[in-house]
Every structure is written in C-alpha cells, then in structure tokens.
C-alpha cells in the first residue's frame, strides 16, 4: 500500500460549529461534542493506510491542539471565507497540486479507516466524490495530481459536484457517508458505532450508549 494521499479537513471555530445539532447534549457541552467528533474523524483518517498526512485547516486553538496531539498538521484558515475556500486552500495551496488530495467533513465519528481506504482506491484516477447518506450532500472529494480541487460543498453539493465533472464513488461505506448535522444523525451514528471520543463524552453525560470503536 502506497501512502500517497494528503487528507484535508476544515474545522470551524467550535463555538460556531454544528448549530443544527444544538440540543443533542446540554448547551455547556456542545463544544465538547463538536470536538469529540473532530477527534474521532481525525483518528480514523490518520489510521487509514493510504493517507500520508492530515492537514486540518482551522483557527480554533482548542481543536488545533487536539488534532496536533493525534498527529495531524494544523494550518490557519487564511482565506477565512467559508468551507470551500478552506478546503481549496488546504488542498491546492498548502498541500499543492502535485499530490493526491482528499478533503472530507470533520463530523464523521463512525468513520472506519478501511472504508476511507476503499473510497480512496475507488477515486483513482481523476476526481471523485462520495455523497452523504441522504444522497444530496457530500462527505468526501478526492482529486489526483495536477487537477484543482474545485470544491462545491453546501446545499445540493452532490449534484453540484457531479455537474462539475467529478465522478460519484459507490461503495458500502456507512461510517464515511454518515455525517452529523442533527440529533437524529447522532442517533444513527451511535447505531453504526461511533469512535472513542464521542462515546466517552456521551457516557460522561450519563447517556447509555453502546459504542464500537471506529478504529
């Protein structure tokens, strides 16, 4: 296995992250939940055989310190212009066009390294994306050397990425496809088996959850 992919993960400031998820845990622990999901996602990415490096684009010092401790490299969100620009900055400018690059959401706490590895193998050659569980959003966009990332994340991004020429990647990757935007999404993730950090937080809150490590 060649470890030649650079993964890029943008992370918002924790205080502004996951607004639609508010109410899933007590308000005082909302930031902790967002951070736990970032840590689980980063842990799975770093354990993926094909991934050589994880770049986390963030201006949040707490999130930055947490992913640095896991082995990621943190770069500031110099564009400061939203998700797509943060992804483009990390993939095309920091990592560089000469590398295999993949960008993915930071709220995939049920991600398994084997699922990401399979998706990256399917992405070769060219530019491809993985739609979310609902089929309308995007959780991953991968591109080969020499080609700009051209991210189209946002409402209806699966259609936008397909229209931009990216190839939809099909596979049985439930942990990769299930991002967490709402309390219902969190319930689904727990059924799939969330990672250690998310589960430890929920158990600390006194919730009865049976979790399986995403690693």
pLDDT, tens digit (0-9, with 9 covering 90-100), for 123-137: 999 999 999 999 999
CATH of the domain at 132: 3.90.550.10
* Residue 117 tokens, joined: 């590895």
pLDDT, tens digit (0-9, with 9 covering 90-100), for 145-171: 999 999 999 999 999 999 999 999 999
Q: Distance between CA atoms of 215 and 200, rounded to whole angstroms?
A: 14
Residue 31 lies in a domain: yes
Q: At what angle do helices 30-46 and 61-70 cross, to 10 degrees?
A: 30
Residue 215 lies in a domain: no
Residue 120 lies in a domain: yes
* Cα dihedral 215, 145, 94, 139 sign: negative
Residue 210 lies in a domain: no
Could you tell me the pTM of the whole model?
Answer: 0.93
pLDDT at 8: 98
Continuous segment of H or E residues that includes residue 11:
strand 5-11
Residue 47: domain span: 5-205
Task: Output phi, psi for 108, to 5 deg.
Answer: -120, 65
Calculate mean pLDDT across residues 11-35: 88
138 is in an annotated binding site: yes
Q: How many domains does the chain divide into?
A: 1
CB 57 within 8 A of CB 69: no
Residue 81 lies in a domain: yes
213 is in an annotated binding site: no
* Residue 122 tokens, joined: 């399917």
157 is in an annotated binding site: yes
């Amino acid at each position: 296995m060649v470890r030649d992919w650079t993964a890029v993960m943008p992370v918002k400031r924790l205080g502004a992250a996951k607004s639609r998820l508010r109410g899933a845990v007590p308000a005082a622990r909302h930031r902790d939940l967002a951070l736990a999901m970032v840590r689980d996602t980063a842990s799975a990415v770093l354990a993926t055989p094909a991934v050589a490096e994880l770049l986390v684009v963030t201006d949040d010092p707490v999130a930055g310190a947490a992913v640095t401790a896991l082995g990621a490299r943190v770069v500031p969100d110099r564009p400061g212009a939203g998700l797509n620009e943060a992804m483009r900055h990390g993939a095309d400018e920091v990592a560089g066009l000469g590398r295999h690059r993949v960008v993915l959401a930071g709220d995939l706490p049920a991600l398994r390294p084997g699922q990401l590895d399979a998706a990256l193998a399917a992405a070769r050659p060219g530019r491809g994306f993985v739609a979310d569980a609902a089929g309308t959003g995007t959780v991953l966009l991968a591109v080969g050397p020499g080609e700009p990332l051209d991210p189209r994340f946002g409402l209806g991004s699966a259609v936008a990425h397909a229209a931009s020429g990216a190839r939809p990647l099909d596979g049985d990757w439930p942990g990769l496809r299930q991002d967490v935007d709402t309390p219902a999404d969190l319930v689904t993730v727990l059924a799939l088996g969330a990672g250690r950090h998310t589960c430890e937080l929920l158990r600390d809150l006194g919730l009865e959850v049976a979790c399986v490590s995403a690693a």
